[in-house]
Amino acid sequence: MTGGVAPSFRRQWWQWALAVIVVAAAVAPLVEHWLTNPDDQRLVDLDVYRTGGQMVLEGRPVYDFVTPAPQLLPFTYPPIAAMLATLLALMSWEAAQWVWTAGIYAALAVTVGYAFRETLGRHAPWVFVFAMVACAYLMPIRDQVRFGQVDILLVALCLADCVARRPWWPRGFWIGLAVAIKLTPGVFLVHLLVTRQWRTLSMATFTAALLSLLPFAVLPRDAVEFWFSALLDPNRVGSNAATTNQSIRGMLIRLYLPDTLTTLIWAAVVAVVAWYGFRAARDAHRAHDTMTAVALVGLMAVLLSPVAWIHHLAWVVVVLGAIVGDGRDPVRLRVAAGVWLFYVVPVPWWGVSLRAAEIPVLSPVLGKIVQNGYGLGALALVWLLAYWLPKRRAASVPAPLAEHYSL
């Protein structure tokens, strides 16, 4: 958290301490629920990370193992991620669960602090508590804890790199690290290129390249296996037609058209969405609305990826921050509340239930739309951030300032 929040911390330390306690109490039911799940259902992705780290320590092939039944999950991340996961492998499984879960909420706190920076003012501790708890109950964030996922950490890294006012690190470093760990944040390299942020792009590219090449010296067999085999197999991450895949490709696959036709449609739709999304992010960057630019690029990471599970939509936290802005526009607050509610309830699973009901005409069509609700919602959010939000901002400020926002 930056700006006016940090200087006020010393004056409000007791309020912040109380805020931490309130947040901890509010998320405790989520933590208790997921960390007491049956062993074979508990933080299954964390188990993948940790086992990958164990393979590195034991000198065994990282991309040959699968976790125990019934999950049978392979390691699907770049080899540098397995090297970093050795830290988890050095812990007991119980300790790793608690450390990772605490890390998820720490990353969420960083994300909320930056995303709602304009809203945090004199009453910063209590606004932060409200935003933190609200975001903790978003389904993509709940799934971070359920599966022990890494997405909210990547969101925090990319967001901090883009919006920190006076970073103590070379800007672009955290984006490069995020790209090296999981390739989907690579959309930020495209954004930096489009917006001609050459210095940041150079640092991000250098960091990602260095961390991607390092395993060729340390784990050459695994590096070759990932880049020339595992990476090219999209089915390695699980059924691409599963409801949880809310990317454009996932939605199209569930139409069950011929594979060639699906691929052609996907390529065309991706090209249009990428053109619109990156162009809108560029315009937001030029208008000095960095938060909206980051939210748009984050949505690109979800929509353009061949596979994007529901927990990848952790970018919704940044979207909400961009919509809320300084919190003074009641219309934007109501829209944000609607977006929040949409991503709190299990919309895609309602679609599955509706299809299973086999109601003539209604189930096949409406059920399919609802099943793809989060992905379609992400497309709607791109339009909302690109078209509606600038117009709403211009309409809610005095005329001279409105002219500035329209430039």
Query: pLDDT value at position 70?
Result: 81
Specify the pLDDT at position 144.
Answer: 97
pLDDT attached to residue 398: 59
3-state secondary structure the chain: CCCCHHHHHCCCHHHHHHHHHHHHHHHHHHHHHHHCCCHHHCCHHHHHHHHHHHHHHHCCCCCCCECCCCCCCECCCCHHHHHHCHHHHCCCHHHHHHHHHHHHHHHHHHHHHHHCCCCCCCCHHHHHHHHHHHHHCCHHHHHHHHHCCCHHHHHHHHHHHHHCCCCCCCCCHHHHHHHHHCCHHHHHHHHHHHCCCHHHHHHHHHHHHHHHHHHHHHCHHHHHHHHHCHHHCHHHHCCCCCCCCCCHHHHHHCCCCCHHHHHHHHHHHHHHHHHHHHHHHHHHHHCCCHHHHHHHHHHHHHHCCCCCCHHHHHHHHHHHHHHHCCCCCHHHHHHHHHHHHHCCCCHHHHHHHHHHCCCCCHHHHHHHHHHCHHHHHHHHHHHHHHHHHHHHHHHCCCHHHHHHHHC
State residue 186's pLDDT score.
Answer: 96
Supply the pLDDT for residue 219: 94
Residue 6 has a pLDDT of 52
Which mean pLDDT values do the consecutive 10-residue runs of the chain (407 residues) have? Answer: 51 82 95 90 93 95 87 91 96 96 97 93 84 97 96 98 94 98 96 97 98 96 92 77 94 94 97 98 96 98 96 98 94 97 96 85 83 97 97 74 45
pLDDT score, position 359: 81
Does this model's pTM top 0.95? My answer is no
Per-residue confidence (pLDDT) for residue 406, from 0 to 100: 44
